[in-house]
Structure 1
């Protein structure tokens, strides 16, 4: 699927910058298999991506409170 996207869009995947995140319940054997297939070896989750939190969790109000506060500061 990624190869098809790259061919259609002309974009390329930078495997050096790419990373992947798995849920806690994912077995290590499956993680290794997926990383090998995708040729992505960095397994991590950064705190933010494009300024937004990457791990929202169940408390969405708490996660996005900073965003609401920033908007209200600009409105005032």
Structure 2
């Protein structure tokens, strides 16, 4: 699947940087199968990606509070 995407888009997967994230309810057998098929070994979720939080959850107000505060600092 990733090879097909790469061929169509012209992009390439950097296996040194690639990681995957699964939800809490995903069984370990499924996780291992997906990681093996995609050749991804790193299973993690960083706090931010491109400056934005990766895991928003239910409390969007709390998650994006820092962004609101930064904007207000620039406005003042």
Same topology, TM > 0.5: yes
C-alpha distance in structure 2 between counterparts of 1:43 and 1:29, whole Å: 14
CA-to-aligned-CA distance 1:26-67 (integer Å, 9 cap, x gap): 110000000001111100111111111111110001000100
Match of 1:13?
13
Return the alpha-carbon distance in structure 1 between the equivalents of residues 28 and 5 of structure 2. Answer: 28
Q: How does 1:41-60 map to 2 (within 5 A)?
A: 41-60=41-60
| Superposition CA RMSD, Å | 1.0
Quote the Cα distance in structure 1 between the aligned partners of 2:57 and 2:8.
34
Shift in Å, 1:9:
2.0
Q: Which runs of 5+ in 2 are unaligned?
A: none
Aligned residues: 76
**Structure 1 residue 22, shift from structure 2 partner:** 0.7
Structure 1 match to 2:74: 74
Q: Distance in 2 between matches of 1:66 and 1:30?
A: 35
